[in-house]
Structures are given as C-alpha cells and as structure tokens.
Amino acid sequence: MNILVTGANGQLGNCLRDAARVSNDNYIFTDIADNECTHRLDITDAQAVKKMAKDNDVNVIVNCAAYTNVDKAEDDADFAEILNATAVRNLAEAVKANGGALIHISTDYVFGAEPYNVPCREDQKGTPTGVYGMTKLHGEQAIAASGAKALIFRTAWLYSEYGRNFVKTMLNLTSTKPELKVVFDQTGTPTYARDLADAIFHIIENRKFEGNEGVYHYSNEGVCSWFDFTKMIAEYAGSTACDIRPCHSDEFPSKVVRPSYSVLDKTRFKEIFGLKVPYWTDSLKKCIKNLKEESK
C-alpha cells in the first residue's frame, strides 16, 4: 500500500516517519521544502497534489500539514484559509479520485466560544474563537463536502522532540529564568506527538481506516492548565531554581482569545480502535528523557 504524508518536516510528520521505519508499506513523505527525507509537494497546488497521488498510486493520504501559528493567523487570515481549508480540499479530492482515504489532523481550537466544562465530544458544534480555529473547522467542512473517505483526528497541545513547541520553550525558560508566570485559566490536555503518530500508524498498518470514517478526538489522558504543564516540565527536567507562578490570561494580551476549556473526549476513539491512550505525565517524562539524551 502507498501512503502519502504531508507536512513531514513538522512534529507529527517526523514522528510518523520514525514509526513507519518498520512498515512494509511504501511511505512517501512530503513537505513544501524537500530534503534528504522528503519530496517537495505544495498542497495548495491542486494539480500537483492530484499528479503526486496518481503517479504514486496513493491509497492513503495523512495530512500533517497546517498553518499553526495561532497569533500570526489573525493577520494572515487569507493564507491560513488556503493552507488549512483549500489545501485540505485538494487532498480530499485527490485521494477520492484514487479511491483511497484521507487521515486529517485537526484541532481542539475548533471549540472555545461556548463555556464548556465537560470534555468536548466529536458531534459538538464548532465554536472557534479565532482565525486558526475557524480555518481548521473550514478544513473539516471541506472534507465533508468532498465526499472523500476520511478520518479526522482532532488533537491538542502537541509537543515532541522535534521543532519548536511549548515543552522545549519551557525547558529553556525554567532553566534560565529566576521566575516565570504561566496562565492557569486555560485548561486542556498535552499530546505527545509520538503517541498520536503511533496511533495513526497502528490504524494504517491494521487497515482500520476502512469502514471507520468520521471525526475522532485524540490527546493524551488527563487534564491540566498551562501552569500545571509547566510545573511538570520543570520537575521532570530537574529545574528547581525557577519560581513558576500562576497568572490570568489577561496578563498576556493577545489578538487571539484562546479556548479556556478544550479537553477532548476520547471515548469514541478508544471504543472503535481499541487502543490505550497514555496519561499525559507519563508521555511527558519520556519526551524529556529523550531530549536529555539527545543533548549529551
């Protein structure tokens, strides 16, 4: 089977590349910039996407590409819409023409405007609070309109050993700053990109994408605030000198109103795919251990 992965130079794409090393399937890793590990593919170019899918007889597309800079998206709404919605339609139409399936990564940011206080379910109405969330919701809608076979995985607070992310930023700040303020009034669940990549890989390897089309939620188990997340990052890294203090979101003015509560209900995912979801602190320990070993 031929699997095309977009955004392969990002966090999830890199982790999926690691997972796929043991597969007998043919994985084609692509990104807007090519390197020794990826082929160049501009997913905003519909014809290029169709050609890539047709020439390689692609059976599954895993879309890890997205415009993810939440703040910058407020000033770059047109391009965010192109990358998060129009390009997604291109991928859906290309894989549909091949008779294949799309696995698309979406976000908890499709929620937020409603005052939720229980974990968000897949059938809950999307109420994004900013351009990023709105364009990601448009991407989901574009898939539905295309009629393509698709699995959409909404995830949250993604981090890994790759690229720039909250964990790596906080590892640096808590080891170099005497004190740090972190918001405690935004609640969600961190997601280790390796866990999500392993789940996607398992679904592909076992052909569980067939007949299980729909929207699913995937983050690690548990609930925390960004403050709690930072406290655990510092603790597991052994950074004890920094005084980490909780603060309100309004102490850090932003163009974006971030979801105050975006915990994802993963019941459907676990029931359909039969996979155990790791607890967030267990996965965080693994990531920090790996980062420490890499830095030696």
Copy the structure tokens of residue 125. Answer: 């109405």
**Active-site residue, from 27, 109, 116, 132:** 132
For residue 34, the model assigns a pLDDT of 80
* Cα distance between residue 160 and residue 266, in whole Å: 20
Q: What is the pLDDT of residues 253-276, one digit of tens each?
A: 888 888 899 999 999 999 999 999
For residue 117, the model assigns a pLDDT of 84
For residue 255, the model assigns a pLDDT of 84
For residue 185, the model assigns a pLDDT of 95
For residue 252, the model assigns a pLDDT of 87
Show the domains of the chain with their CATH numbers: 2-160+190-222+262-278 (3.40.50.720)
Q: What is the pLDDT of residues 87-133, one digit of tens each?
A: 999 999 999 999 999 999 999 999 988 777 899 999 999 999 999 99
**H helix intervals, the chain:** 11-19, 46-55, 77-81, 87-97, 131-146, 166-176, 193-205, 226-237, 267-273, 280-294
For residue 43, the model assigns a pLDDT of 98
Q: What is the pLDDT of residues 210-258, one digit of tens each?
A: 999 999 999 999 999 999 999 999 999 999 999 999 999 999 888 888 8
Under a CB-based contact definition with an 8 Å cutoff, are residues 103 and 63 in contact? yes
Q: Which carries the bigger pLDDT value, residue 117 or residue 286?
A: 286
> Facing residues of 243 across strands?
179
Copy the structure tokens of residue 84. Answer: 């998060």
For residue 215, the model assigns a pLDDT of 98
Percent of the chain residues topping a pLDDT of 90: 92
Residue 187 predicted with pLDDT over 80: yes
For residue 112, the model assigns a pLDDT of 87
- Average pLDDT score over residue span 153-165: 97
**H helix intervals, 111-165:** 131-146
Under a CB-based contact definition with an 8 Å cutoff, are residues 59 and 149 in contact? no
Band (pLDDT 50/70/90 cuts) for residue 153 is very high
- 132 noted as active-site residue: yes
Residue 21 predicted with pLDDT over 80: yes
How long a stretch of residues is the chain? 296
How high is the mean pLDDT of the chain? 96
